Amino acid sequence: MTNNLLRDRRFTAAIFLALAVVVMILSGRTFRQMFEPDLIIEGPGVTGKAKLSKYLPTLKDTPSDTDVYYLKGKEPGAKFLVMAGAHNDEVAGQATAIVLLENAVVKKGELIIIPRMNNSGATHTEVMEAHPQFLEVKSRSGGVRKIRTGSRYLNPVHQFPDPEVYVHVTSGQKTPGSESRNLNRVHPGAPRGTLLERVSYAVVQLINQEKVDLTLDLHQAIPEHYVDNCLVGHQRAMELVTLALMSLKAQGIKIKMYASPRGVSGLSHRGIGDATQTYMVLAESNQMMITKFRGKTTHQLLLEGKDPFYDILFRKGKLFIDYDSKKGSPIEEGVGRHLSTVMELTRALTEVDETKVIEIEGVPEYMDMMENGLGYYLKSPEKT
């Protein structure tokens, strides 16, 4: 009897051990996918590609070395840098960059795109937030495209430990230690600083070496924050921001603008704007997945942006945007806003300085995106 009981227990233990191994293998595969770069099918406009370490060699072979793409026109003109993925859970920025890389063709000037600024941040998701690891969208031909959602923070295994207090490298301003892994708190960085400070410094070097005229940093915000659906500009860029905002409003896009506060350090519109001569602008669109009062976090929420809890907040006047969960705030709205902002800023640049011309073709804008959907402008992975 004792032998039979012992045999049964061993058999049960073996079953549980086998199940644990299966779970480990399956979860390990998913974990590894977070370290694989997103598929980008370069369109006809892409003329070159490099790594960010081109501008700061100490980034080479680090988890934060990231891709830089160049779309150069046949005719000379101004240079425009579009940056996405500083905060990876604000996924509309990465999707916008990919749409540009797969569709845009530059006729005059040059478009430079960094689709994943915080490359390390794409290797993990926010702790305890249950975010989906990928945005999955059906392409026009039916194949599924996946874009990593990631985290707003650099992966802690790549920059450890956090200090108790982060002291901003140029201003001395103090913030919580975890903000040392927030790319939009460390600008303009330092050549021998932390890993993330070196990422920021490399971007500043890129802007200065390439003589970039206009820089746009793509983000998303929550509807209970005042910067949602807005443009924020460095003081030198406010004329461009004003012109772009008027054109966006004429298209029926509700949007606000703010001037970069001089007393807040580390933000791209302040740190990069002060450290370079570029017209520095930050764009925010709405994102429901990262909200603080949301209900269940699902992939559908990321796609459609529908959450009935926010109807209550809107009725109570607690939001900074109009919101209706029946319509939602789909991924297409965020991407469409960013794409229209890209195009309106190029037009505004020429209005401010007629010698600085950028002509870009093939870019879908807000109404195109809302009518056709994001997948319509993504190439099929089966045709790679």
**Is residue 8 in a domain?**
no
**Mean pLDDT, residues 208-223 taken together:** 98
Per-residue model confidence (pLDDT) at position 348:
98
- Tell me the β-bridge partners of 187: 266
**Is residue 17 in a domain?**
no
pLDDT surpasses 70 at 384: no
Domain of 379, CATH number, reads 3.40.630.10
**Tokens found for residue 189:** 């960085």
Cβ(122)–Cβ(34) under 8 Å?
A: yes
Q: Which of 319, 327, 302 is nearest to 90 (CA)?
A: 302
**Is residue 24 in a domain?**
no
Q: What is the pLDDT of residues 128-185, one digit of tens each?
A: 899 999 999 999 888 899 999 999 999 999 999 999 999 999 999 999 999 999 999 9
Q: What is the pLDDT of residues 72-114, one digit of tens each?
A: 999 999 999 999 999 999 999 999 999 999 999 999 999 999 9
Q: What is the pLDDT of residues 296-348, one digit of tens each?
A: 999 999 999 999 999 999 999 999 999 999 999 999 999 999 999 999 999 99
State which residues form the domain around 38: 34-383
pTM equals 0.94
pLDDT surpasses 80 at 22: no
Cβ(257)–Cβ(351) under 8 Å?
A: no
Instruction: Return mean pLDDT, the chain.
Output: 94
Per-residue model confidence (pLDDT) at position 141:
84
Helix H, strand E, coil C: the string for the chain is CHHHHHHHHHHHHHHHHHHHHHHHHHHHHHHHHCCCCCCCCCCCCCCEEEEHHHCCHHHCCCCCCCEEEEEECCEEEEEEEEECCCCCCCCHHHHHHHHHHHHCEEEEEEEEEECCCCCHHHHCCCCCCCCCCEEEEECCCCCEEEEECCCCECCHHHCCCCCCEEECCCCCCEEEHHHHHEHHHCECCCCCCCHHHHHHHHHHHHHHHHCCCEEEEEEEECCCCCCCCEEEECHHHHHHHHHHHHHHHHCCCCCEEEECCCCCCECHHHHHHHHCCCEEEEEEEECCCCCCCCCCCCHHHHHHCCCCHHHHHHHCCCCCCCCCCCCCCCHHHHHHHHHHHHHHHHHHHHHHCCCCCCEEECCCCHHHHHHHCHHHHCCCHHHC
- Structural domain count of the chain: 1
**Is residue 7 in a domain?**
no
**Is residue 69 in a domain?**
yes
Round to whole Å and give the CA distance between 190 and 188: 7
Q: What is the pLDDT of residues 122-133, one digit of tens each?
A: 999 998 899 999
**Is residue 12 in a domain?**
no
pLDDT surpasses 90 at 29: no
User: What proportion of the chain, given as a percentage, has pLDDT over 70?
Assistant: 96
**Is residue 21 in a domain?**
no
Per-residue model confidence (pLDDT) at position 47:
98
**Is residue 50 in a domain?**
yes
